[in-house]
Every structure is written in structure tokens, then in C-alpha cells.
């Protein structure tokens, strides 16, 4: 068993950009052990003055859209500009076993070997929002280690993707050609929080990407202006053929410059801190509730009645809440 690191060792190692210690620190913040959680809180507090300088990008899209290939190509462009890049690749957990694939490094072989790139796959463990439970903390640790750009690759698209949008500065939605079907299937809420829409797999002369891009441009015109004040553009690219990626990267730089100048980035960071606090409150209260012995016993008695239709779930919830509130 490896010796436990001290707070000073963690802090010194991360500020020195030690990738091994950074990995151990992320494992620490993901731990559910009470002693680890206490040390993790102290570590985040110690590193907070060294965070906030990175630009945070969310990359979301349905399975099969080519997120990892796109990220490998975009990431190569970023590091060619001598920027350090961290990729937090959120990996879907099995709802039955709790296991996860954790294969993102094998799907981004070039970036995985680059000295300026750090890739960390993390399981969602059933958390909604396309992010892992401690993605925020992992992101801050990477910022303290000096990574200028942090990309969060999410598990897919759904209404709950708002959580990843609330912790990043730019939300990039990746789509495939075939705009008619895609446009019908996508939720309005996803389009409303998109800062940049990219049609991937624009491969070959017969590609439908141009038609898809035009349909999305028309759809975006009917949506309200984003909080950033910048209407989202639509780009096409082929991550496989490495075309269109430079233009997308140039737009990301333009967007970053614009939201710094118009004050949106500063407002966004303040809102991100508030969202983080409320998320932590919810997590802690849920933990206290479900770990309570009286609640566990009452749940054990109520669940069969609910399953058999003998008890209305709303009544069961009220009884559970009353029991929890009346405890000293």
C-alpha cells in the first residue's frame, strides 16, 4: 500500500505540475472515505488562489458522434500553439455493476502520449448532467497544475446536461450530418445553452454536412440570445480528415476574448461558484438522509408497500421527511 501523502506534498506537487501527484489528488477528491474527504477539502482550499485562469470547454454530443476523435484533433491543434491541455473524459458507469469503460486514453492515442496533455477518465457513478460527481474539483486541480485549457467530454446529450454547462465557459455541441432527423430529436434546452455547434463527419464530396449546418443555423435564429450576448455559430468539420478544425479553434479563441471583454466570463465564474455551493449542499443533505439509520429502517418498511401499490409515494416521502426533521 502506498504511503499517504500530506497536504503539503499534494500542494507542492500539483503546483509543480507533477502529473503523478495530480492523479493521486483527483483520486483523493473522488474518495468517499471521511478522512480522504477532509483532506480533499483542505487541499481544494489551499489551491483555490491558484485556480480560475484556465478556459473551460464542454464538448457534448450523442454516442457515436465522434467526440473522442474530434477532441484528439482539436487537442492536437491546441498543444501545437504551446498551450497545456487537460481532458476530463467522463465515462458512463453501469447502473447495475457500477463499473465503467474508462477507455478514453486508448481512443485518443496521440494526446495520451503528449507531455503537455493530461487525460483523466472518471466514471459518472450515476450522476446526471453528463459529468462525474467531482468534476468541478478535478477541474480546479488541473487549473492549479497550470493547464491553460480544460476540456470536459461528457457522456451524451440530455436535459440534464445543464450541469456541465454551469461549470464551463463554452458549451460545444457536436452533431452528425442528417439534419432533419437530428433536429427533430434534439431538445430545445440543449440548443439554448449551446455556444458553438459543430457538424462532424463532413467527409467526402457527398457529405450532408452543409445542408445540416444550414438547417441548424435557421433553427438557432428562433432561440433567445445567450447570456454571453454572442449568437452561436455553426461550423462543419471532419475530425477524421482533420479539416475545419483550425477554424473552430480560431472561433474558440475569439469567443474567449469576447466574453472577457464584455464581462460575461467574470459573471459566469461567480455563478459557477454559487452553483457549486448549492450542488454540494444537495449532495451532503442526500448523504445525511440516506445514511440515517431510522430513515433506512423506515425505507425498508415502506418500499414493499409502494411497490405493491398499497401506499402512495407522496405519502411515503412525507413520512420520511417528517421522521428526518423530528430527529434531535
Q: Residue 87 in contact with residue 117, Cβ under 8 Å? A: yes
- What is the mean pLDDT of the segment spanning 247-259? 97
Residue (of 55, 68, 57, 73) closest to 147 by Cα position: 55
Phi-psi region of 178 (alpha: psi -120 to 50; beta: other; left: phi over 0): left
CB atoms within 10 A of CB 272: 18
**Which one is predicted more confidently, 22 or 223?**
22
Q: Of the candidates 143, 157, 180, which has an alpha carbon nearest to the alpha carbon of residue 62?
A: 157
In the 3-class helix/strand/coil scheme, how is the chain assigned residue by residue?
Answer: CCCCCCHHHHHHHHHCCCHHHHHHHHHHHHCCCHHHHHHHHHHHHHHHHHCCCCEEEEEECCCCCCHHHHHHHHHHHHHHCCCCEEEEEEECECCCCCCECCCHHHHCHHHHCCCCEEEEEEECCCCCCCCCCCHHHHHHHHHHCCCCEEEEECCCCCHHHHHHHCCCCEEEEEECCCHHHHHHHCCHHHHHCCCEEEECCCCCCCCCHHHHHHHHHHHHHCCCCCCCCCCCCEEECECCCCECHHHHHHHHHHHHHHHHHCCHHHHHHHHHHHHHHHHHHHHHHHHHHHHCHHHHHHHHHHHHHHHCCCCCHHHHHHHHHHHHHCCC
Which residues are CB-contacts of 30 (< 8 A; sequence separation ≥ 6)? 122, 132, 133, 134, 138
Cα–Cα distances (Å) from 235 to 68, 149, 178, 245, 249, in that order, read 18, 21, 15, 9, 11
- 149 closest CA partner among 248, 66, 75: 75
Among the listed ranges 39-48, 106-115, 240-249, 280-289, which one has the minimum average pLDDT value? 106-115
Evaluate whether 161 touches 67 at the Cβ level (below 8 Å).
no
At 134 the pLDDT is 83
pLDDT bin (cut points 50, 70, 90) of residue 186 is low
pLDDT at 327: 79
Indicate the length of the chain as a whole number: 328
Tell me the C-alpha distance between 313 and 315, whole Å. 5
- pTM for this model (two decimals): 0.86
- Is the confidence at residue 95, as pLDDT, over 50? no
Read off φ and ψ for residue 95, nearest 5 degrees.
-70, -15
pLDDT band per the 50, 70, 90 thresholds, residue 190: confident
Residue range(s) of every CATH 3.40.50.300 domain in the chain: 51-261
The CATH class of 51-261 is alpha beta
Q: Is the pLDDT of residue 115 over 50?
A: yes
* 1-50 to CATH, choices 3.40.50.1820, 2.70.70.10, 1.20.5.170, 3.10.28.10: 1.20.5.170
Least confident of 110-119, 195-204, 316-325: 195-204
Q: What is the pLDDT of residues 150-184, one digit of tens each?
A: 999 886 655 457 778 888 999 999 988 864 455 55
Contact between 144 and 51 (Cβ < 8 Å): yes
Mean pLDDT for the stretch of residues 190-219: 83
CATH 1.20.5.170 in the chain, residues?
1-50
Amino acid at each position: 500500500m502506498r504511503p499517504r501523502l500530506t497536504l503539503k506534498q499534494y500542494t507542492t506537487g500539483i503546483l509543480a505540475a507533477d502529473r503523478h501527484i495530480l492523479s493521486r489528488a483527483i483520486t483523493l477528491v473522488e474518495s468517499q472515505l471521511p478522512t480522504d474527504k477532509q483532506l480533499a477539502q483542505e487541499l481544494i482550499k489551499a489551491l483555490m488562489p491558484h485556480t480560475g485562469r484556465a478556459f473551460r470547454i464542454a464538448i457534448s454530443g450523442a454516442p457515436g458522434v465522434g467526440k473522442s476523435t474530434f477532441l484528439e484533433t482539436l487537442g492536437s491543434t491546441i498543444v501545437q500553439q504551446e498551450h497545456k491541455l487537460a481532458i476530463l473524459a467522463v465515462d458512463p458507469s453501469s447502473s447495475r455493476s457500477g463499473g465503467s469503460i474508462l477507455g478514453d486514453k486508448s481512443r485518443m492515442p496521440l494526446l495520451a502520449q503528449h507531455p503537455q496533455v493530461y487525460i483523466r477518465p472518471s466514471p459518472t457513478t450515476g450522476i446526471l448532467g453528463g459529468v462525474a460527481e467531482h468534476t468541478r474539483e478535478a477541474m480546479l486541480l488541473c487549473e492549479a497544475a497550470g493547464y491553460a485549457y480544460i476540456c470536459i467530454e461528457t457522456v451524451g446529450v440530455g436535459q440534464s446536461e445543464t450541469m456541465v454547462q454551469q461549470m464551463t465557459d463554452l458549451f460545444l455541441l457536436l452533431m452528425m450530418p442528417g439534419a432533419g432527423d437530428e433536429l427533430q430529436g434534439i431538445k430545445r434546452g440543449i440548443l439554448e445553452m449551446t455556444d458553438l455547434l459543430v457538424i462532424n463527419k463532413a467527409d467526402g464530396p457527398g457529405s450532408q454536412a452543409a445542408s445540416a449546418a444550414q438547417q441548424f443555423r435557421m433553427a438557432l435564429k428562433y432561440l433567445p440570445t445567450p447570456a454571453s450576448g454572442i449568437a452561436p455559430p455553426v461550423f462543419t468539420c471532419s475530425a477524421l480528415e482533420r479539416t475545419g478544425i483550425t477554424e473552430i479553434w480560431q472561433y474558440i479563441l475569439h469567443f474567449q476574448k469576447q466574453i472577457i471583454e464584455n464581462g460575461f466570463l467574470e459573471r459566469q465564474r461567480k455563478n459557477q461558484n454559487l452553483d457549486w455551493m448549492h450542488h454540494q449542499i444537495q449532495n451532503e443533505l442526500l448523504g445525511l438522509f440516506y445514511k440515517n439509520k431510522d430513515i433506512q429502517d423506515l425505507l425498508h418498511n415502506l418500499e414493499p408497500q409502494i411497490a405493491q401499490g398499497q401506499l402512495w409515494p407522496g405519502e411515503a416521502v412525507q413520512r420520511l421527511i417528517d421522521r428526518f426533521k423530528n430527529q434531535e
